[in-house]
C-alpha cells in the first residue's frame, strides 16, 4: 500500500521528528485512507504547504478552497492523524464554529488512527490510542507518558476557549456556521475576540496556525488574519486573474474534475456574490458587479433647484463599530439623481445626535431629513428622539425593512444606467470603494444611507405629509 513511501521519505520531510521507521508522505496517507486520487491542487500545492507548516515553527497560513472540494478531508482529518503518527507527542488543536463540529472531526481522526492502514503506516507503539479515548480530547500513548495533562488532540469552538492548554499546531476550519452568522457584526466580533484574546495569547511563537476558510466579506476572520500578516493561498474554483492562486492555471480553467465548468458557471449565475466569496475566495468582484461606480459622472456644481433628501443610517458608535452616515441626494428636472454630500463617522450616540442636528442646520429647511426606525421599542424611542432634536425641520421616519441588496436595487439600476451624478469632494474615494465592493465589502453603511435617500426621493407619496415638529 505504501511501497513508494520508503523512497520519498528521503526528501527529509519532518526529518528527525518522527519515529525511526520511515512512514509515508502525507499525500500517500491521504490517498490510502480516502480511496481516491488526489488532484493536482491538493498534491502539488495544498499538501506541501501543510507539511511546511508542520515543520516550520511559527507558520501563519490562511488557505481558501471552495466548498465540497475535499479541503476538510485533507486538512482537518488526515493531516492531524498523519502528524500524530509521525510525532506521537505533538499537540494539535482543532477549532470550528462550535465544539460539536470540531468533535465530529475528532471522531473521524480516532477512527483513522485505529484503522489497519494507520497501524501499518505508523507501527510505533507511541502512536497508539487507549480504547476509551473521547473524540473531543485524547492522548496518544507517547503523549500520556509525559504526564503533563496536555492532550494530543483538542476540539474547540470559536466561542469557547482552551485555557491552560498549549498547542504545537492550531487548525481553524469552518469559523462560521452560515453566511448569516458571518455577516452578523456581533458574531464576527466574537470570533475575532476569540482569536485575539483567547487563542493567539495561548499559541506560542513556535506553534503553527493554519486556517481553512470560505470568504463571506472583506472584514471576516480570514480577511482580518490576512491583513494582520498571515500568508495566504487561494484556490479559486474557476481560475481568475487575481493574485494568490499557486496553480498556474489559465483564467477560466476549473480547479479539479470534481466540479465541471458548466456546473460552476451555473452556480455563479445563480448567486454571483455567494460564488465570488465562497468559491473564488474573493469577497468582491474584479470590478463592481452590483454597482458600476465608474458610470457615475463627477460634477463641480449641483442643480440650482431640485428636491433634496438627507437620509441617515446609524451605527453603534465608537472604535470598530459600524459608521453612522448621512447621505444627501437630489433629483433634477431630467430625472437624474445627484449625490451631493456624505457625512460619515463613528460617533457615540450623543455626538451623533448633535451631528445630525448641525447637518440639518447646514442643509437648510428645504432638505427633508429621513431617519431610520429600527424594530422594537428601542428603535421607536430613538426615532422619536431624533424627531424632537430636529424640531422645525421636515423629518420622516421610516421602518428599516428588507435585506440590503433589495433596498439598494433601485439606486444601483440608476447608477449602472449612467443616471447618477456626484459632486466632487474628499468623501468621493471612500464612497466609490464601498459601492465597488457592495455587498461583499467590509462596509455598507454609505450604501444603506444612499438607498434610503433614493427611496425617499422616489416615493410616490405627497411631500405635504412630511412631519414638521
Distance CA 92, CA 167 (A): 5
**Which residue from 288, 315, 305, 325 is spatially nearest to 427, judged by alpha carbons?**
325
Cell numbers found for residue 447: 450604501
Predicted confidence at residue 11, as pLDDT, reads 36
Cβ 73 vs Cβ 109: under 8 Å: no
Output the tens digit of pLDDT for each of the chain's 469 residues. 344 433 333 333 333 344 444 779 999 999 999 877 899 999 999 999 999 999 999 999 999 999 989 899 999 999 999 999 999 999 999 999 999 999 999 999 999 999 999 999 999 999 999 989 999 999 999 999 999 989 999 999 986 666 667 899 999 998 998 888 888 888 888 899 899 888 888 888 899 999 998 888 888 999 999 999 999 999 999 999 888 899 999 999 999 998 999 999 998 888 877 888 899 998 866 555 688 898 999 999 988 888 999 999 998 776 667 899 999 999 998 899 999 999 999 998 889 999 999 999 999 999 999 998 877 777 788 888 898 999 999 999 888 777 788 888 889 889 988 999 999 999 999 999 889 888 777 788 999 999 999 999 987 444 444 433 3
3-state DSSP call for residue 344? strand
Q: DSSP string spanning 301-342?
A: S--SS--EEEEEE----STTSPPEEEEEEEE-TTS-EEEEEE
Q: Which of 151, 147, 110, 156 is nearest to 132 (CA)?
A: 110
Q: Nine-digit cell at 363?
A: 442643509
Do 272 and 285 contact (CB within 8 A), yes or no?
Answer: yes
pLDDT tens figures, 82-128: 999 999 999 999 999 999 999 999 999 999 999 999 999 999 999 99
List domains and CATH numbers for the chain: 5-279 (3.40.50.300), 293-468 (3.30.420.280)
Tens-place pLDDT, residues 417-452: 899 999 999 999 999 988 988 877 778 899 999 999
CA-based radius of gyration for the chain? 27
Amino acid at each position: 500500500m505504501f511501497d513508494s513511501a520508503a523512497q520519498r521519505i528521503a526528501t527529509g520531510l519532518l526529518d528527525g521528528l518522527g519515529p525511526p521507521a520511515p512512514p509515508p508522505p502525507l499525500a500517500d496517507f491521504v490517498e490510502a485512507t480516502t480511496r481516491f486520487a488526489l488532484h493536482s491542487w491538493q498534491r502539488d500545492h495544498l499538501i506541501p504547504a501543510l507539511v511546511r507548516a508542520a515543520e516550520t515553527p511559527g507558520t501563519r497560513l490562511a488557505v481558501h478552497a471552495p466548498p465540497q472540494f475535499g479541503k476538510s478531508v485533507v486538512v482537518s482529518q488526515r493531516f492531524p492523524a498523519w502528524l500524530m503518527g509521525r510525532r506521537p507527542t505533538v499537540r494539535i488543536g482543532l477549532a470550528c464554529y462550535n465544539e460539536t463540529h470540531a468533535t465530529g472531526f475528532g471522531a473521524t481522526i480516532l477512527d483513522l488512527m485505529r484503522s489497519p492502514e494507520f497501524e501499518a503506516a505508523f507501527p510505533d507503539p507511541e502512536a497508539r490510542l487507549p480504547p476509551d479515548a473521547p473524540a473531543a480530547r485524547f492522548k496518544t500513548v507517547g503523549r500520556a507518558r509525559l504526564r503533563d495533562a496536555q492532550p494530543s488532540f483538542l476540539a474547540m469552538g470559536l466561542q469557547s476557549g482552551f485555557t491552560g492548554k498549549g498547542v504545537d499546531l492550531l487548525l481553524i476550519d469552518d469559523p462560521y456556521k452560515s453566511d448569516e452568522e458571518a455577516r452578523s457584526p456581533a458574531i464576527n466580533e466574537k470570533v475575532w475576540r476569540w482569536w485575539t484574546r483567547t487563542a493567539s495569547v495561548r499559541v506560542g511563537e513556535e506553534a503553527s496556525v493554519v486556517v481553512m476558510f470560505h470568504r463571506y466579506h472583506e472584514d471576516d476572520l480570514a480577511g482580518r488574519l490576512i491583513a494582520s500578516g498571515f500568508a495566504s493561498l487561494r484556490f479559486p474554483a474557476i481560475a481568475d486573474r487575481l493574485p494568490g492562486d499557486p496553480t498556474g492555471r489559465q483564467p477560466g480553467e476549473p480547479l479539479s474534475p470534481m466540479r465541471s465548468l458548466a456546473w460552476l458557471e451555473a452556480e455563479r449565475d445563480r448567486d454571483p456574490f455567494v460564488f465570488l466569496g465562497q468559491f473564488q475566495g474573493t469577497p468582491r468582484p474584479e470590478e463592481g458587479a452590483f454597482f458600476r461606480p465608474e458610470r457615475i459622472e463627477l460634477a463641480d456644481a449641483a442643480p440650482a433647484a431640485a428636491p433634496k433628501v438627507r437620509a441617515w443610517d446609524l451605527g453603534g458608535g465608537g472604535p470598530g463599530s459600524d459608521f453612522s452616515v448621512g447621505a444627501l441626494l437630489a433629483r433634477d428636472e431630467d430625472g437624474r439623481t445627484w449625490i451631493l454630500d456624505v457625512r460619515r463617522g463613528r460617533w457615540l450616540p450623543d455626538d451623533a445626535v448633535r451631528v445630525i442636528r448641525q447637518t440639518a442646520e447646514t442643509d437648510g429647511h428645504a432638505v427633508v431629513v429621513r431617519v431610520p426606525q429600527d424594530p422594537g421599542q428601542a428603535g421607536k424611542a430613538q426615532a422619536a428622539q431624533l424627531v424632537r432634536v430636529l424640531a422645525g425641520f421636515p423629518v420622516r421616519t421610516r421602518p428599516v425593512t428588507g435585506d440590503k441588496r433589495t433596498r439598494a436595487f433601485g439606486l444601483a439600476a440608476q447608477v449602472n444606467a449612467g443616471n447618477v451624478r456626484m459632486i466632487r469632494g474628499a468623501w468621493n474615494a471612500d464612497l466609490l470603494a464601498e459601492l465597488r465592493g457592495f455587498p461583499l465589502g467590509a462596509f455598507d453603511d454609505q450604501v444603506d444611507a444612499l438607498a434610503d435617500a433614493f427611496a425617499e426621493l422616489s416615493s410616490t407619496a405627497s411631500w405635504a405629509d412630511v412631519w414638521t415638529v
